Structures are given as C-alpha cells and as structure tokens.
C-alpha cells in the first residue's frame, strides 16, 4: 500500500513540475509579446492559461484521490494539503500572465512612450521564483523556499521603479496617461505573480515544517 502511495506522490511531484514549466513558458511568451509587439505570442500565452487550468484540475483530482484512498499520515497530509494550496496560486499566475498578454495585444501597433527595461526584469525574476518554489517542494529544500520568499523584495522594488516612471510620464504630459496606466497594470500583474510565487514557497515551508511562515503553531 505504501509503495503505491509513494508512486502517486512521485507522480504529484512530476505534475507540479510540469505545471510550473507551463507557467514559466507562459510568462516568457507574455514578455516576448510585450517586447516584440508580437500578437501571435500574446495569443499563445492566453491559450496557455487553459492548459494550466486543466493541469490544476488533474493535480487536484490526484490529491483528493491520495487523501481519500491512501489515508496519509500527518507529514504526508501536510504535503498533499500544501500541494492543493500551491496549485491555486499557480492557476492564478496563469490567469495573470494571460491578463498581461491581453494588454500587450492592445498595445501592439503603438509606439511605446515608456522605457520598459524594468518589465522584462520583473518577468525574469517572477518566472525564476515560480520555478524555484516548485523545485523547493520537490526537493524538500527549506533554504531554496526561503530564497524565493526573499526574492519578492526584488520584484517589489522593480514595481516601484515602474510606478515612478509612470508618474513622471503623466506629470510631463497627461496625453501619456492611457498607455502609462497600461504599463502600470502590466507591472502590477507581475508584482502579483511574485506574491503568488511567495505564497507557493510559504506552503513549501509548511509542508516541510508544519509551520506557516511567521507562526509558531505546528499543524
């Protein structure tokens, strides 16, 4: 019975890695859509959201099967519960990558009035956070999970830089307002992706230690 359970846990790890890879690709496609004003890439990123949604459902089904049929002990229960929480954040990241791509589609054909170097930096940082948070879960690596949590400060700093650029543009000319707000929204979505990646890492910590970040209660 335990061997079957361990086999399904391994399957859960593999599916989470696959879902993480889907998210990373969606973020990369979204970034290319913005940088290259690439409509096809924007469509691919939007389509990827459906694949991510489907993967979430498959992982949820597997987790419920493990809970109902295998009668996991406390440590395994934490792991499965954390996985269920993680896929919710992962699904939201897919949604937000699609939302960014929708804005990118609207901006295609327009000349950018804002320097966008901070946008790809945010995209790279958040994609790395997602990948490393999943790696931390699979490897049961507390140090890597904490690294992801700390990385959120970098994303927040980049968001503040974009916000400053946007405010300056609007102050110079109110006609810049519409596009400036679009880029503000793009940056905000990336900032939220960073928050969700942080949530994933915090659930990894819980799965290993039984403690939520900032709490001392063992569940």
Instruction: List CB contacts of 46: < 8 A, sequence separation 6 or more.
Output: 98, 101, 102
Tell me what pLDDT residue 168 has.
87
Instruction: Indicate the domain borders of the chain.
Output: 2-209
Consecutive 10-residue averages of pLDDT for the chain (219 residues): 80 95 95 94 95 97 87 83 96 96 92 87 95 94 96 96 90 86 95 96 93 55
Give the C-alpha separation, 156 to 138, whole Å: 26
Q: What is the pLDDT of residues 60-113, one digit of tens each?
A: 999 998 888 767 777 888 999 999 999 999 999 999 999 999 999 999 988 888
Q: What pLDDT score was predicted for residue 216?
A: 42
- How many other C-beta atoms are found inside a 10 Å radius of the C-beta of residue 168? 12
* Contact assessment for residue 146 and residue 200, using Cβ atoms and an 8 Å cutoff: no
Any residues with CB less than 8 A from the CB of 22 and at least 6 apart, and which? Answer: 48, 51, 52, 55, 94
CA-based end-to-end distance of the chain: 25
2-209: what fold?
Methane Monooxygenase Hydroxylase; Chain G, domain 1 (1.20.58)
């Amino acid at each position: 019975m335990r061997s079957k359970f361990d086999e399904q846990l391994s399957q859960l790890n593999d599916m989470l890695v696959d879902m993480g890879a889907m998210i990373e690709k969606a973020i990369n496609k979204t970034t290319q859509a913005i940088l290259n004003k690439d409509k096809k890439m924007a469509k691919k990123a939007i389509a990827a959201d459906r694949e991510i949604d489907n993967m979430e459902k498959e992982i949820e089904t597997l987790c419920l099967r493990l809970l109902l049929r295998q009668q996991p002990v406390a440590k395994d229960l934490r792991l499965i519960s954390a996985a269920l929480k993680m896929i919710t954040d992962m699904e939201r990241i897919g949604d937000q990558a699609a939302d960014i791509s929708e804005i990118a589609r609207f901006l295609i054909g327009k000349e950018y009035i804002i320097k966008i170097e901070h946008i790809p930096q945010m995209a790279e940082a958040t994609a790395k956070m997602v990948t490393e948070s999943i790696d931390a879960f699979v490897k049961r690596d507390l140090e890597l999970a904490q690294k992801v949590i700390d990385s959120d400060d970098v994303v927040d700093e980049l968001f503040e830089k974009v916000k400053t650029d946007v405010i300056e543009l609007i102050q110079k000319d109110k006609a810049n307002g519409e596009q400036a707000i679009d880029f503000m929204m793009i940056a905000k979505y990336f900032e939220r992706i960073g928050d969700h990646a942080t949530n994933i890492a915090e659930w990894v910590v819980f799965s290993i230690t039984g403690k939520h970040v900032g709490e001392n209660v063992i569940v």
